[in-house]
């Protein structure tokens, strides 16, 4: 008989926690998981999945406008926010049930309440029950950061934006990262007047500069207004329910919704880490080694709570590696190089590997190949927006160090290109590949 109630107790049933729990159970461990809200985590419940569905919904505004060029007559067009919102939320319900079923099918016991750490091998549920476990896994993810200024209580974050009672006529978004740019595109396409304010003078730090510049130009042409070096200093609620927002030294702006998208921080507050001798980092993150083990040998952590790479597929890989290592006798680590990422802005952009700036800093001698083109669909519809594809190549070895794309379906195209970059293929390998015509993706193998 074990000295503990469970072999593994997981705190948090998001992507990383669910993967780790079910794989550990498949390896024969007795597993339980605690989740204080809903099974599925940020991505499924209040993040990338419902947001991508909103992106799809907003695309119809452009598609319906372009339909006439393809012979379609669409009369009486109108949009109902409540229909889209409720359809998205129903799909969230479906996914919550699917993730729950996955745990159930694998024999993982579930506690739908908050759990906190009380020691190296113990947790306490919100109901007061004490539980012991040989190993504890923390997979509680991250939470939106709210800056401090008068009236911040009137603002919403990406957690609440999916539940808006109606489509706001005027939206102000603070931040210029991927969350901010994606929601700016959604609201702009749906007809809202969108203003983006940011404390710095650039958007999407970390992405290739050429793509960032192109996205800025296109979104400004689409009607999104930007105010740089202008963090919000005050939000005042008006008698009619609207808000007067002061940002930087600019004149106040009247809006209906203020969305804060200034980043996310590890969700470790009140978790009880101190009871196991674990000291969080400056951002609240849990320090771990290459096997996701904390400074307490019986406690591990995966996903956004470690602040290594805040991406769902990374959390899943970390959860898999943890379970295989600790319960499957198959030690694994996660390779964090060449991780592809995308921004589902409008148009979307995606990248993998080194940006041009990063490549020049690390390798010095690099070659850059670009294709600046007008997608066929845009030509036929009379839209002037241009796509931009970019290959960053090591001039000494001919190895492709990075691929960066902006244009329709860029994320879908990049996934295959990411395999090539990860495999260390060269520009000659790209050139030797026959083009798939007519497609936008063919530009990847036609650059000279």
CA dihedral 160, 51, 139, 334 (to 10 degrees): -160
- Compute the distance between CA of residue 330 and CA of residue 321 in angstroms, rounded to an integer: 8
- For residue 234, what are the β-bridge partners? 246
- Compute the distance between CA of residue 200 and CA of residue 157 in angstroms, rounded to an integer: 20
User: DSSP state, 444?
Assistant: G
- Compute the distance between CA of residue 381 and CA of residue 70 in angstroms, rounded to an integer: 8
Q: What angle do CA 309, 313, 319 make, to 5 degrees?
A: 85
Instruction: Please say whether the beta carbons of 303 and 317 come within 8 A.
Output: no
Instruction: Please say whether the beta carbons of 387 and 407 come within 8 A.
Output: yes
Active site amino acids: 437
Q: What is the 3-state secondary structure (H, E, C) of 268-323?
A: CCCCCHHHHCCCCCCCCCCCCCCCCECCCCCEEECHHHHCCCCCHHHHHHHHHHHH
Please state the separation of Cα 101 from the chain's center in Å: 24
Q: Give CA separation, 264 vs 142, 147, 372, in Å.
A: 6, 11, 34
User: DSSP state, 14?
Assistant: S
Is the bond leading into 188 cis (omega within 30 degrees of zero)?
no
- Compute the distance between CA of residue 192 and CA of residue 171 in angstroms, rounded to an integer: 7
């Amino acid at each position: 008989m074990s000295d503990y109630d469970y072999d593994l107790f997981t705190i948090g049933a998001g992507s990383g926690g669910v993967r780790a729990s079910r794989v550990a159970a498949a390896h024969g461990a007795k597993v339980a998981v605690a989740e204080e809200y809903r099974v599925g985590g940020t991505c499924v419940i209040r993040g990338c999945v419902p947001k991508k569905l909103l992106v799809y919904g907003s695309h119809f505004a452009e598609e319906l406008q372009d339909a006439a060029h393809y012979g379609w007559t669409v009369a009486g067009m109108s949009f109902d926010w409540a229909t889209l919102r409720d359809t998205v939320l129903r799909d969230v319900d479906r996914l919550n049930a699917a993730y729950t079923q996955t745990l159930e099918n694998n024999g993982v016991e579930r506690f739908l309440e908050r759990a906190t750490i009380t020691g190296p091998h113990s947790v306490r549920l919100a109901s007061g029950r004490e539980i012991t476990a040989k190993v504890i896994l923390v997979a509680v993810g991250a939470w939106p950061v709210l800056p401090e200024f008068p009236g911040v209580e009137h603002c919403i974050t990406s957690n609440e934006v999916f539940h808006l009672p109606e489509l706001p006529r005027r939206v102000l978004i603070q931040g210029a990262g991927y969350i901010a740019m994606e929601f700016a595109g959604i609201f702009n396409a749906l007809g809202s007047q969108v203003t983006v304010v940011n404390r710095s003078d650039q958007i999407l730090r970390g992405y290739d500069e050429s793509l960032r510049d192109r996205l800025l130009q296109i979104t400004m042409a689409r009607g999104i207004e930007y105010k740089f070096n202008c963090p919000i200093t005050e939000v005042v609620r008006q008698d009619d329910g609207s808000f007067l927002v002061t940002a930087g030294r600019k004149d106040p702006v009247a809006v209906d919704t203020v969305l804060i998208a200034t980043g996310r921080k590890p969700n470790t507050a009140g978790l009880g880490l101190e009871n196991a001798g674990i000291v969080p980092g400056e951002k609240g993150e849990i320090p771990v080694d290459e096997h996701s083990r904390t400074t307490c040998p019986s406690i591990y952590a995966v996903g956004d709570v470690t602040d290594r790479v805040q991406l769902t597929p990374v959390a899943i890989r970390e959860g898999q590696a943890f379970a295989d290592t600790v319960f499957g006798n198959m030690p694994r680590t996660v390779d964090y190089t060449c991780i592809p990422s995308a921004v589902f802005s409008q148009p979307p952009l995606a990248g993998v590997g080194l940006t041009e700036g990063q490549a020049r800093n690390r390798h010095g001698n690099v070659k850059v190949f670009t294709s600046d083109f007008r997608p066929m669909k845009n030509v036929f519809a009379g839209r002037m927006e241009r796509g931009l594809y970019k290959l960053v190549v090591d001039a000494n070895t001919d190895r492709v160090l990075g691929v960066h794309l902006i244009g329709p379906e860029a994320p879908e195209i990049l996934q295959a290109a990411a395999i090539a970059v990860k495999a260390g293929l060269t520009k000659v390998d790209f050139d030797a590949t026959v083009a798939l015509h007519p497609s936008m993706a063919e530009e990847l193998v036609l650059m000279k």
